[in-house]
Structure 1
Amino acid sequence: MKMFLFKRKILTAAVCLLLAAGMFYVVNHPAIVGAAAAARQLPIYCVQRDQKVLSISFDAAWGNEDTQMLIDILGKYKIKATFFVVGEWVDKYPESVKALHDAGHEVMNHSNTHAHMSQLSKDEIIADVEACNDKIEAVTGVRPTLIRPPYGEYDDNVITAIRSIGMEPIQWDVDSLDWKDLSAPEITKRVTGKVQPGSIVLFHNAALHTPEALPGIIETLLQDGYTFVPISEIILPQPYTIDHTGRQLPA
């Protein structure tokens, strides 16, 4: 019995010693521990900006009833936005893709088939993205440099695959929730209440009340001193870092 208690004390002491050594390592090597914790690959959700500047974006995957109306509203306020379009949407509505480009808006990639990219291999992701790039370039003459993964879904494989072909994955930090068919006042209150310098706002080109809400949102933010720019103009060039929230920062 005494031998058992003696061995138990030795084991307890050894465990305590290992825990103490681990704590010592964390305290004295925070950069290494932090690097391990930060290893997850993230897209850009927003950008650190001192000035009141933001980007508004629209995902286009299915309907097309309101696209021209959105172009007209944005044109009225001389605002350029970023439209993320699906390759199959380009197939159906090439005239709308051209109209977006001709109006000065960015036409970027939202995948070719709106697949769940986290379920695809790296090669399948690249093939899907490049197929959409080819379609957009054929209509606009400009090859996309940005992509928004469908459903906002991603993992390390998705982000690594996208960046391996020189493209930047983009999310958002302000979701209008227009896809939930919120009323125009609800959309307006939600967006204007959440925007901050460097924000990227998500809308959809075929949401029920977005055209009704958009003028009020734009006017409120303009009165608050904000400037609207396309996403390619709000994100930072290399070198940069991305914090754990997805905020892009200067390196």
Structure 2
Amino acid sequence: MKVYVVGKKEALSYIAMAFLLILCGASFAHLYLEDPGTKSAAASVRQLPIYSVETEEKKVAISFDAAAGADDTDQLIEILGKHNVKGTFFLCGCWIRNHPEAVKKLYEAGHEIANHGNTHADMIKMDEAGMEREIMDTHEEIKKLLGIEMTLFRPPYGSYNDQVIQTTRRLGYEAVQWDVDSLDWKEQGLEPMIRQVLDNKNLRNGSIMLFHNNAKYTAAGLDRILTGLEEKGYTVVPVSELLLEGEYTIDHAGRQYPTTPTK
């Protein structure tokens, strides 16, 4: 067996070359593993709910989340009726069980009834089975009480991830958020709440507005808000009348677009 003897400088050169090859190999491996082209489309595309809708019509949707309290139900129905407006009420199962007569009043007044989960729990902390129970327990409550099938769902706290949206759609629901938050839940005062809606930079055709059914200033400010929207030329509709039918896409901001241009 032959033994090759190298000098000190040559040895250092070989060591440096070997180290460089190791680094290069690691770098190429890193690039390959992180290359988006090696991932499936499903894994790389984030699942989003609908925050607003692309439309040339000057219309917006009004929605109310209901998880606690029903004292303002009659007043909300009266004010909405005064303006000939139908809203969408996202109801929690616990609210339905505690206030079945209020649910019936809303439905009989022509307002849209939608799903807000069973216990107002943060669904991203659940497994898929837990998510399904949250949605379907409320679905069955309303089906038993009103005999209708709901199709719209809003995750409690507006909290969601890909699995929440995928589970929602698998169960035949459309997940809906909002792009105009009244911030009524912060209870900062009547005038700030009204300005927060009417002067909101996001307010435009296809906006979805968020209120809460029993927040401190909501009922007191609703008449002026609806009047202000009318003065801006908006027609206020329930969420389902705003959403697009057929095939659609959702952009990075959650705005729903038709897949083909509207003629």
Alignment of 1:77-92 (within 5 A): 77-92=83-98
Kindly state the Cα deviation for residue 33 of structure 1 after the two structures are TM-superposed.
8.2
On the 8 A contact 1:38/1:244 being kept in 2, the answer is no
Paired with 2:30 and 2:156, the residues of 1 have a C-alpha distance of 43
| TM-score, reference length from structure 1 | 0.88
1:160 alignment partner, one of 159, 166, 169: 166
Structure 1 match to 2:245: 237
1:60 aligns with 2:66: yes
Question: Residues 108 and 36 of structure 1: is their aligned pair in 2 closer, same or farther, counting only changes over 3 Å?
Answer: closer
Tell me the SS of whatever aligns to 1:50: coil
Letter in 2 for 1:174: V
Kindly state the Cα deviation for residue 78 of structure 1 after the two structures are TM-superposed.
0.2
Alignment of 1:174-213 (within 5 A): 174-194=180-200, 195-213=203-221
Structure 1 match to 2:14: 3
Structure 1 match to 2:231: 223
Paired with 1:177 and 1:3, the residues of 2 have a C-alpha distance of 67
Structure 1 match to 2:178: 172
Q: Across the two proteins, how many residue pairs are aligned to each other?
A: 246
Question: Residues 17 and 134 of structure 1: is their aligned pair in 2 closer, same or farther, counting only changes over 3 Å?
Answer: closer
1:137 aligns with 2:139: no
Tell me the SS of whatever aligns to 1:127: helix
Paired with 1:57 and 1:169, the residues of 2 have a C-alpha distance of 13
Kindly state the Cα deviation for residue 57 of structure 1 after the two structures are TM-superposed.
0.4
Letter in 2 for 1:207: A
Tell me the SS of whatever aligns to 1:54: strand
- Runs of 4+ residues deviating >6 angstroms: 11-22
Paired with 1:11 and 1:227, the residues of 2 have a C-alpha distance of 66
Letter in 2 for 1:95: E
Letter in 1 for 2:131: I
Paired with 2:44 and 2:252, the residues of 1 have a C-alpha distance of 7
Alignment of 1:16-27 (within 5 A): none
Tell me the SS of whatever aligns to 2:219: helix
Question: Residues 123 and 203 of structure 1: is their aligned pair in 2 closer, same or farther, counting only changes over 3 Å?
Answer: same
2:78 alignment partner, one of 51, 64, 72: 72
Unpaired segments of 5 or more residues in structure 1? none
Structure 2 match to 1:110: 116
Unpaired segments of 5 or more residues in structure 2? 1-11
**Percent identity at matched positions?**
42
Paired with 1:177 and 1:146, the residues of 2 have a C-alpha distance of 22
Kindly state the Cα deviation for residue 105 of structure 1 after the two structures are TM-superposed.
0.4
1:128 aligns with 2:139: no
Tell me the SS of whatever aligns to 2:211: strand
Question: Residues 122 and 37 of structure 1: is their aligned pair in 2 closer, same or farther, counting only changes over 3 Å?
Answer: closer
